[in-house]
Chain A
Amino acid sequence: MQRELVEKISLTQLFILVSAFLFGSAIVVGIGGEAKQDSWIAVIVACLLSIIPVWFYTFLLSRIPEKNLFEIMEIVLGKVISKVFILLYILYFFYVSARVLRDFGELIVGDMLVNTPIEVISITFMLFVAYILYLGLEVLGRFSEIYAPYLMGSIFAIGILLLFSRELHVKNVMPILPEGIGPVIGTVFPELITFPFGELVAFMMILPYASKVRYAGKTTIFALIVSGLILAYSSFVQIATLGPEAKLRSKFPLLTATGEISLWDFIERVDLIIIFVVMFGILVKVSIFFYGGLKGLELVFNRPYRAFIYPMAMIIAFMSIIISKNFAEHISEGISMVPWIIHFPFQFGIPLLLFPFVLWKAKVLKSEGKKR
């Protein structure tokens, strides 16, 4: 009954973490709005296309087994050069988690606690993230197992409740593909492929800790497909309820859509309860990015990552506030700048750059292993 030294997460937990990660902020801010009524098609296309990069990530990891992205970089590029890249990645991970946190803060301040300053939300939420990561990755995994049924259940319940409230108008989704596949592709690149799907690059820090590493890649891809379909479903529900124009205008389309639910004059304003579910997705997303960054710090500064948790959590809370002046700026940055300048290099650029080195190093290691 001894506790294992390396923390492990089971495949079920990995599956749930990946799905919750993908729902995370994507389900809050709404994705693929530019594709108008075809955004659900765009989501499916993006999801299927992003199998390629995710497969590529797991392939990279499988070359040098039981090492995470940063450790691979250290092995392949040497201590000094790898440190530069790792520090860049740490910044990237922290920045993205700050962005996700900002999404959530805006949501709470905008819809739930109108008079509360956003700083309070950021700090309290980061305190929780710090607490759960302090308890460890294993705890995060089990924690997500508890909340996953509520997440999945409520996403489906929204659609059903909207149907019964007679708010689901299929005519809003028509016509399908009026301008051909062009707008859909335009949304998939660069927006959808990088957010939320490309962000799975953060799982390169988690996958080596799965209990059955061999199946970890397959589980991730399976989770990617399932959650892609659920996201498409959610997107479909949003369009059918609000219509493409209103969905594009709305800050948080899912919440606006759920706000339409009204049954027996009793079940109303469900959006406040949906925040519960959204909060879980956000938590997983912030935690995983944060964990990735912390693992990087652990490697660079050679200290257990728990030493960094509380100060870094507070820095992220602060970052989430200073990254943009208001919500409009935050969103427009997210659409116009972040995918090209930040997501692309870290999600595809650096991994592709690593690819030949990893192959070469794996070969060297293999032949060394044979010699012994």
Chain B
Amino acid sequence: MGWIKKILLSQKSYNQDKSLKHEQLSLGKEAPPLSKDLKENQSNIEKAFENAKDFKIENIHVGNREGMICYLNSMTDTSLLAEKIMVPLSNSSQQDRSITNLEEFESYRKEFFSGVGYHFHDKLHGLIDDVLAGYAGVIVDGQPKGLSLHVGNIEYRPIEEPSTQTVIRGPKEGFTESMDTNISLIRRRIQNTSLKFETMTVGKDTRTSVTIAYIDGVINEGILDEVKKRIKKIRTHAIFDSGNVEEYISDKNMTVFPLIYNTERPDSAAANLLEGKAVIIVNGSPFVLIAPTVFSDFFEATEDYYQSFFIGSFIRLIRYASFLIALTLPSLYVALTAFHHALIPTDLLFSLQAQREGVPFPAVIELLIMEVTFEILREAGIRMPRAIGQTISIVGALVIGQAAVEAGLVSNALVIVIALTALATFVSPIASFTAAARLLRFIFIFMAAVFGLYGILLCLFFMVAHLVSLRSFGVPYLAPIAPFIAEDQEDVFLRFPFFSNKRRPHYLKTESPLKNPESESPTPPRSKKGGGS
């Protein structure tokens, strides 16, 4: 691992090297303050938006004075602009309003632009930032302050069913790329003043809005401060997806396990908020982040809570089992066929050996061929244009299934192993989590090929030791299991019925530990005296 350290260190010295100073793009550059002279302001703004085709600037009359309005037609809704700003401006009654000082400007705004989001700016770059975010900037001659009015309304993908975390029963809305829509999707579910949204801007060049949502009075203050601190600490030029943010605010990057949960489902985000977690919404990404996260979160789907707790618990156990299968089944195949024949029942051993008769490779090579083939197929399935998807699945099924066996490359039993492993990989509700099992699987296979069962056990030991050492925003990653917290077991391996689930998770150290203390079992209590039906 030494060379990795070396690369990272070289990055550090690169940053300190003064000769390679980073030339910041103009949009973040300190612009001059707004002057009282309209002409000067206008030329400054025009210079800033030089060669921007979508930039519009118009000279207008505001009251009895000269003024100008500027906006980006790519970021604003022109009908909204016309209705809310242009119509009032052209109203004849306003023509004789005098605007000589700030109070008059303010009262002018109140009268004609009420109901439109606004800011006053005394710095030019503040105004430019707002224009970039979909505001219309209004400057009046002789006024040292500029007014920005919100007329932004950009076309976004409509609310659709989430493509990754699908459910049979439960809400089918998914987050979209628009942060405002996402906030509204959460707010619709939690109509409570305690639900807070705080926005900050991240990314020097992209200036992406990042919103932290939390429930005041529930989330642990320390955790909330830590989340805010880490987002403020992000030093990067560009954020395009919550994945970028995730990497910057994770406790540790040198791990294959995701330390922050991501979801496309508003109901999941809302439920997590109420448990005492923070939700991080990144503008432009339909995946919101949820922090802090523990290992068991990745085995919970929202649907567990929408159906009977018996089936919910059962499915959850299946998920844990499939994680183990996805992780160890191929390596167990290698270990058993290559080292420990004794563990295979005799009849099965005979048929296995008979199948492997014509196969020219040792078990591990046979397995690696198929594993790599499968990974290629999977990647192809994701990247390729939708239209050809059908073809590939047929080709894939043929390659993996029949042809490889008939060509004598692999044995039939191995195909079953690979297929089951592949299926088990897809069981976890969160895609980024299965990546861990996919990667570790190869290490397991390698160790099994060298050390047999002992190698697998050693790998499991290393994995668990690593997992146990991880933390997500200060919360131990394996929290309710290790360190063992008895009160939190009601929602880990099994989902207990709601009436017995009265507390928020202990490990989140919430400000109000009880969530529904009055809930009762629907079964009426038996009276002690008996009788009374």
Interface residues of A (CB under 8 A from B): 1-3, 10, 12-13, 108, 112-113, 116, 120-121, 124-125, 128, 131-132, 135-136, 139, 141-143, 145-147, 265-266, 268-269, 272-273, 275-276, 279, 283
Contacts and interface: CB of A to CB of B under 8 A. Distances in A.
Contacts of B476: 142
B468 A142 contact: yes
B457 to A, nearest CB: 5
Interface in B462-486: 462, 464-465, 468-469, 473-476, 478, 481-484
13 contacts: A1-B220, A1-B222, A1-B226, A2-B474, A10-B483, A120-B451, A128-B458, A131-B462, A135-B468, A142-B468, A143-B464, A145-B483, A279-B457
Given A135-B465, A146-B482, A275-B457, 20 more contacts: A12-B483, A108-B454, A112-B452, A124-B458, A131-B462, A131-B465, A135-B468, A139-B469, A141-B483, A142-B478, A142-B482, A143-B464, A143-B482, A146-B478, A147-B464, A268-B345, A272-B453, A273-B343, A279-B461, A283-B461
B55 to A, nearest CB: 46
Given A12-B484, A145-B483, A112 B464 contact: no
Given A112-B340, A112-B452, A143 B483 contact: no
Contact of B342 (A12, A265, A272): A272
B482 A145 contact: yes
A121 B454 contact: yes
Given A124-B451, A131-B462, A145-B483, A113 B468 contact: no
A125 to B, nearest CB: 7
Interface of B: 220, 222-223, 226, 339-340, 342-343, 345-346, 451-454, 457-458, 461-462, 464-465, 468-469, 473-476, 478, 481-484, 509
B222 A143 contact: no
B230 to A, nearest CB: 12
A14 to B, nearest CB: 12
Contacts of B478: 142, 146
Contacts of B345: 265-266, 268
A2 B339 CA distance: 47
A1 B223 contact: yes
Contacts of B461: 128, 132, 279, 283
Contact of A1 (B452, B474, B481): B474
A265 B344 CA distance: 10
B366 to A, nearest CB: 21
A12 B468 CA distance: 16
A268 B349 CA distance: 13
Nearest to B481: A146
B443 to A, nearest CB: 14
A61 B338 CA distance: 51
A53 B499 CA distance: 48
Contacts of A141: 483
A276 B454 CA distance: 8
A131 B469 CA distance: 11
B483 A13 contact: yes
Contacts, number: 87
A309 to B, nearest CB: 14
A272 B340 contact: yes
Contact of A143 (B342, B454, B468): B468
Contacts of A125: 458
A13 B483 CA distance: 8
B18 to A, nearest CB: 35
Q: Which 6 A-B pairs have the closest CB atoms?
A: A1-B474, A142-B482, A145-B482, A142-B468, A269-B342, A135-B469
Nearest to A13: B483
A146 B462 CA distance: 13
A2 B482 CA distance: 18
A3 B471 CA distance: 10
A273 B344 CA distance: 12
B465 A112 contact: no
A116 B222 contact: no
Contacts of B458: 124-125, 128
B473 to A, nearest CB: 7
Contact of B483 (A113, A120, A142, A272): A142
Given A142-B476, A265-B345, A113 B452 contact: yes
Contacts of A283: 461
Nearest to A116: B451
Contacts of A120: 451
Nearest to B348: A266
A255 B46 CA distance: 84
Contacts of B220: 1
B90 to A, nearest CB: 57
Given A128-B462, A146-B478, A113 B454 contact: yes
Contacts of B453: 112, 272, 275-276
A68 B428 CA distance: 45
Chain B CB within 10 Å, residue with most, of A116, A125, A146, A279: A146
Contacts of B339: 112-113
B406 to A, nearest CB: 31
Nearest to B341: A269
Contacts of A1: 220, 222-223, 226, 473-475, 509
B468 A269 contact: no
Contacts of B509: 1
B336 to A, nearest CB: 10
Contacts of A2: 474
A143 B452 contact: no
Contacts of A113: 339, 451-452, 454
B484 A269 contact: no
A272 B344 CA distance: 11
Contacts of B484: 12, 145
A147 B342 CA distance: 25
Nearest to A133: B465
Task: Tell which of A13, A125, A272 has the most Cβ of chain B within 10 Å.
Answer: A272
B465 A139 contact: yes
Contacts of A266: 345
A113 B448 CA distance: 12
Contacts of A268: 342-343, 345
B483 A269 contact: no
Most chain-A CB neighbours within 10 Å: which of B454, B458, B474? B454
Contacts of A128: 458, 461-462, 465
Nearest to B473: A1
Contacts of B454: 108, 112-113, 121, 275
Given A1-B223, A145-B483, A146-B481, A132 B465 contact: yes
A117 to B, nearest CB: 12
B483 A276 contact: no
B276 to A, nearest CB: 13
A221 B339 CA distance: 42
